[in-house]
């Protein structure tokens, strides 16, 4: 045995470095895989992080959870393949390249060339690979970086094609024109769950605008309220609720007549009593200018009108940009989505920029599906048709549009509202809602199946499954899976010039067979120019690929199949072991990866993609705010690891509310507390064992060799039996809690699990002797070991009751320290 130092002089970080070096020399991780090969498979899906940044505490937390579970399963004899993955496509990469190359619009990419753009994207993907491997390895996690998978690899991409091809064959794919969240910063549509990733409380203009009713005897005007003035140039209809009662009122100061919902009369601007000037209601759509309804000093009630009688009325357009629609547009329609809990009970409809607007205008015949004009381009600027504001970004044009409305005498009131508004999770710019053509998966068609598949899964904590995820599935809508971008897996859809013939490629072999072209890469610049002869004959020309690429969430949702190149390879491995056993990620993935996994597996196989799931919460800065590099409100992970060790950090993270999907305010002192309260007491118990074992040799007695456990059971000392029983209870508790995936009661540390694969003798330090930690069960066990067993057996351990009794006591201390490692 090596000499041991005082606890205050012992360095856990340095000892971890020694263990890492030993693991590397022995190729320990791969040796474990070799030894368990052929055993029962435990399938673990590792969600791919974006490769455009460095790992943070959230990654270390998720990595620790994954490492705890997969180590436990490996130590139970199961074969656990662990391959690191990289999410290589999509907005994160393109956004970085756009900044690097100074690209601000789509045309600049086309001028540069898609090939050059994509190869630049490919080059940045591996920028941080070395840093990731260094940090992940230093945290003690065992995972294979050499056999990693990348979503940009041709095998992965081919499996993604296969997934889409299967959905196409099942009639679960269609092309549509839909109003979707749209990022002008990244110049692409976002899925609904992406749009929900970054909501911010921000101020926006809130205006009331009048729309004079054609032929009204009182020259009345309907009044609509909006927080998006930039949509007013595209107004084509007004929508009311046929079941509401509306009121026609006259402004006593100037004779103007307005029509609004009776319950919203308090929203109309009133005279300020002191100055005699009109003023708008205070901020917020629910602010009442006069509590309880109409201000009779300012307005006279002329009539009450049922909402149904307003339907069909024509009104004077606000702008003349869409006069070609005047035969069908600029009239009042009705729908129940209009409520009287905000605004005026009259909604201005711009069908290209609102999901409900688009739906009701189509239904009422205001527009046709093929005739919609989208007056805003991909960069968020008004097109030539909106001549007065052409080239202006919509958000920047708000003020001028309001002034134009005022100049027309149509501005009833102007104010502002502070509300929650979605921002692009990548560019940080406010989203708009914009009609875009896209390819959709019919999620609504399989919604009931999704809910049934969710019931077959086990989540920790279960309330995330039963509440948050269930509710999200219950309201699931068709999923737009295409993006009008460049760096991604191309949609495998080839269409004829007349649109009558569509061929979906579900393999490279099929594309090569139909086109006669050898394919070595599936990215856009390699397949966009490949054409297919029409099956109807040469007179029908050739089929060309659509320009879109897949949403990167579709790729990550395809991971269970694509990372092993199923069905082109590994058929038996997949089909015998699907659904997978385990996944783990953060709470935000309930609307991200967990969702896309569930949608695709349900659509493909009628099964969930996974059986067991651990969902962690967010790691925040000590002040409760989001960790920010610019604010420097948290210590760097490597700084903490270098000071206290990776295992202290791992245990601190996993023994916290964050493993129950709650938030954790990261505190450096908390990591120190783990060292002080858990590691040092255990180390001191081990040090006491080593010192007394070496003392036997110093005193000329027989060198210490632990007595076998069968012989120790014959010990007459009641404390020996007691500590053995306590250890067995600890081990039993670990089995019970790990089988239930409750890591907040059971924690495996990375470095502490090694001795079960190596030395028959105890490691010369704490790091090698501790394989599992149960908190608070573990803390109590340590207290029992150090303050009861060691304290009450000091004379025996020091040899004062005879050499034989000393060896029995030392052997007992040895085995209880090592027993858990051998069992697991």
- Which residue is catalytic, options 161, 439, 487, 553? 553
Looking from the CA of 176 toward its CB, the CA atoms found within 13 Å total: 16
Distance CA 427, CA 442 (A): 29
List the one residue out of 143, 153, 151, 146 whose CA is nearest residue 81: 143
Residue position matching structure tokens 């105890």 = 762
Omega of the bond prior to 152 within 30 degrees of 0, cis? Answer: no
- Taking the CA of residue 687 as centre, how many other CA atoms within 13 Å lie in the half-sphere pointing to its CB? 13
Tell me whether residue 593 is one of the annotated catalytic residues: yes
Contacts of 640 (CB under 8 A, 6+ apart): 649, 668, 671
What are the residue ranges of helices labelled H in 49-145? 57-75, 91-101, 106-112, 114-125, 129-138
For the chain, give percent helix, strand, coil, nearest 5. 45, 20, 35
Catalytic residue among 589, 681, 682, 805: 589
Q: Are 646 and 750 in contact (CB under 8 A)?
A: yes
**Burial class for 18, CB neighbours closer than 10 Å (0-12, 13-18, 19+):** middle
**Selected catalytic residue, list 408, 445, 629, 631:** 629
**Do 787 and 735 meet the contact criterion of CB atoms below 8 Å apart?**
no
- 753, 459, 462: which is closest to 608 by C-alpha? 459
- Of 517, 602, 512, which is closest to residue 557 (Cα–Cα)? 602
**Active-site position among 67, 87, 148, 506:** 87
Residue 683 near residue 7 (C-beta atoms within 8 A): yes
User: 70 pairs with which residues across the strands?
Assistant: none
* C-alpha 698, offset from chain centre: 60
Query: Which tokens sit at 512?
Result: 């090569």
Report cis status (omega within 30 of 0) of the bond before 645: no
What is the dihedral sign for C-alpha 237, 242, 243, 248?
positive
Q: Per the residue annotation, which of 472, 593, 754, 763 is the catalytic one? A: 593
Judge whether 108 counts as a catalytic residue.
no
Q: Which of 474, 462, 470, 451 is nearest to 614 (CA)?
A: 462
In this structure, is the dihedral angle defined by the CA atoms of residues 805, 808, 813 and 816, taken in order, positive or negative?
A: negative
State the Cα–Cα distance between residues 721 and 719, nearest whole angstrom.
5
796 vs 209, 388, 631, CA distance in Å? 91, 95, 57
Q: Say which residues have a Cβ less than 8 Å from residue 466's Cβ, sequence separation at least 6.
A: none
Residue 48 annotated as catalytic: yes
- Say which of 116, 170, 626, 631 is annotated catalytic: 626
Find all residues with CB under 8 Å of 631, minimum gap 6, and list them. 621, 625
| 459 included as an active-site residue | no
Helix (H) or strand (E) holding 399: helix 394-407
The residues pairing with 208 across neighbouring beta strands, listed in sequence order, are 225, 413
- Terminal Cα-to-Cα distance of the chain (whole angstroms): 24
Cβ-Cβ contacts under 8 Å for 79 (sequence gap 6 or more) = 33, 36, 37, 38, 39, 40, 41, 42
Residue 221 neighbours by CB under 8 Å, 6+ apart: 210, 211, 212, 213, 256, 257, 258, 259, 315, 410
Q: Which of 23, 32, 48, 340 is catalytic?
A: 48
Is 87 catalytic? The answer is yes
Query: φ and ψ at 749, to 5 degrees?
Result: -100, 145
Question: Is the CB of residue 616 less than 8 Å from the CB of residue 77?
Answer: no
626: annotated active-site residue: yes
Nearest Cα residue to 469 out of 574, 647, 610, 629: 610
String of DSSP letters for 458-472: EEESHHIIIIIIHHH
- Total residue count of the chain as it appears in this document: 824
Check if the beta carbon of residue 210 is closer than 8 Å to that of residue 412. Answer: yes
Report the alpha-carbon distance of residue 650 to residue 670 in Å, rounded. 11
Give catalytic residues, as residue numbers: 48, 87, 553, 589, 593, 626, 629
């Amino acid at each position: 045995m090596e000499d041991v130092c005082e606890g205050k002089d012992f360095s856990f970080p340095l000892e971890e470095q020694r263990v890492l070096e030993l693991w590397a020399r022995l190729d320990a991780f791969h040796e474990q895989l070799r030894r368990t090969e052929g055993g029962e498979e435990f399938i673990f899906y590792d969600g791919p992080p974006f490769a455009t940044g460095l790992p943070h505490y959230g990654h270390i937390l998720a990595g620790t959870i994954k490492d705890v579970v997969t180590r436990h399963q490996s130590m139970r004899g199961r074969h656990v393949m662990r391959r690191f993955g990289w999410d290589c496509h999509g907005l994160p990469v393109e956004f970085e390249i756009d900044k690097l190359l100074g690209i601000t619009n789509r045309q600049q990419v086309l001028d540069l060339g898609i090939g050059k753009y994509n190869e630049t994207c490919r080059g940045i993907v591996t920028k941080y690979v070395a840093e990731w491997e260094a940090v992940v390895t230093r945290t003690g996690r065992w995972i294979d970086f050499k056999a990693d998978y990348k979503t940009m690899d041709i095998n992965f991409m081919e499996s993604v094609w296969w997934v889409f091809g299967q959905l196409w064959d099942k009639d679960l794919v269609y092309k549509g024109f839909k109003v979707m969240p749209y990022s002008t910063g990244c110049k692409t549509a976002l899925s609904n769950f992406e749009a929900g990733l970054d909501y911010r409380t921000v101020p926006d203009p809130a205006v009331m605008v009048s729309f004079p009713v054609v032929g009204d005897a009182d020259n009345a005007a309907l009044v609509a309220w909006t927080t998006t003035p930039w949509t007013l140039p595209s107004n084509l209809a007004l929508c009311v609720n046929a079941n509401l009662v509306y009121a026609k009122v006259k402004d006593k100061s100037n004779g103007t007549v307005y029509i609004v919902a009776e319950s919203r009369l308090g929203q109309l601007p009133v005279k300020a009593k002191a100055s005699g000037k009109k003023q708008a209601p205070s901020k917020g759509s629910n602010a009442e200018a006069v509590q309880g309804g109409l201000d009779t000093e300012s307005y006279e009630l002329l009539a009450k009108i049922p909402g149904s009688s307003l339907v069909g009325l024509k009104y004077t357009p606000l702008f003349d940009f869409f006069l070609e629609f005047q035969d069908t547009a600029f009239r009042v329609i009705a729908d129940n989505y209009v409520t009287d809990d905000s605004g005026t009970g009259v909604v201005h409809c711009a069908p290209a920029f609102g999901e409900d607007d688009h739906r009701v205008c189509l239904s009422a015949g205001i527009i046709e599906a093929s005739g919609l004009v989208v007056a805003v381009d991909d960069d968020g600027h008004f097109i030539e048709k909106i001549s007065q504001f052409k080239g202006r970004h919509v958000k920047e044009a708000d003020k001028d549009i309001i002034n134009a409305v005022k100049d027309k005498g149509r501005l009833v009131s102007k104010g502002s509202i502070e509300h929650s508004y979605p921002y692009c999770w990548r560019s940080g710019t406010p989203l708009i809602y914009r009609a875009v053509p896209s390819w959709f998966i019919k999620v609504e068609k399989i919604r009931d199946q999704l809910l049934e598949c969710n019931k077959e899964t086990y989540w920790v904590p279960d309330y995330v499954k039963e509440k948050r995820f269930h509710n999200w599935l219950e309201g699931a809508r068709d999923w737009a899976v295409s993006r009008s971008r460049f760096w991604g897996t191309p949609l495998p859809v080839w269409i004829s010039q007349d649109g009558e013939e569509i061929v979906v490629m579900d393999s490279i072999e099929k594309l090569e067979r139909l086109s006669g072209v050898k394919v070595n890469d599936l990215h856009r610049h390699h397949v966009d120019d490949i054409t297919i002869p029409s099956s109807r004959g040469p007179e029908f020309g050739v089929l060309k690929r659509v320009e879109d690429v897949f949403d990167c969430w579709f790729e990550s949702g395809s991971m269970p199949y694509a990372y092993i190149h199923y069905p082109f390879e590994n058929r038996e491995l997949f089909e015998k072991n699907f659904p997978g056993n385990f996944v783990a990620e953060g709470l935000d993935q309930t609307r991200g990866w967990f969702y896309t996994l569930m949608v695709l597996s349900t659509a493909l196989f009628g099964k969930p993609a996974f059986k067991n799931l651990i969902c962690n919460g967010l790691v925040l800065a000590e002040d409760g705010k989001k960790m920010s590099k610019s604010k420097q409100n948290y210590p760097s992970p490597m700084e903490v690891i270098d000071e206290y060790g990776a295992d202290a950090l791992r245990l601190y993270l996993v023994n916290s509310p964050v493993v129950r999907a709650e938030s954790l305010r990261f505190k450096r002192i908390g990591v120190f507390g783990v060292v002080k309260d858990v590691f040092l007491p255990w180390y001191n118990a081990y040090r006491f064992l080593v010192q007394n074992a070496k003392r036997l040799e110093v005193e000329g007695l027989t060198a210490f060799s632990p007595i076998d456990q069968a012989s120790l059971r014959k010990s007459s000392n009641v404390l020996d039996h007691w500590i053995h029983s306590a250890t067995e209870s600890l081990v039993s508790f670990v089995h019970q809690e790990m089988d239930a995936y409750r890591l907040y009661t059971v924690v495996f540390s990375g470095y502490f699990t090694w001795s079960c694969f190596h030395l028959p003798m105890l490691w010369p330090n704490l790091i090698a002797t501790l394989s599992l930690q149960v908190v608070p069960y573990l803390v109590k066990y340590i207290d029992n070991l150090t303050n009861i067993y060691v304290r009450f057996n000091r004379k025996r351990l020091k040899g004062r009751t005879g050499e034989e009794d000393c060896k029995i006591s030392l052997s007992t201390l040895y085995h209880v320290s090592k027993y858990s490692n051998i069992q697991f």
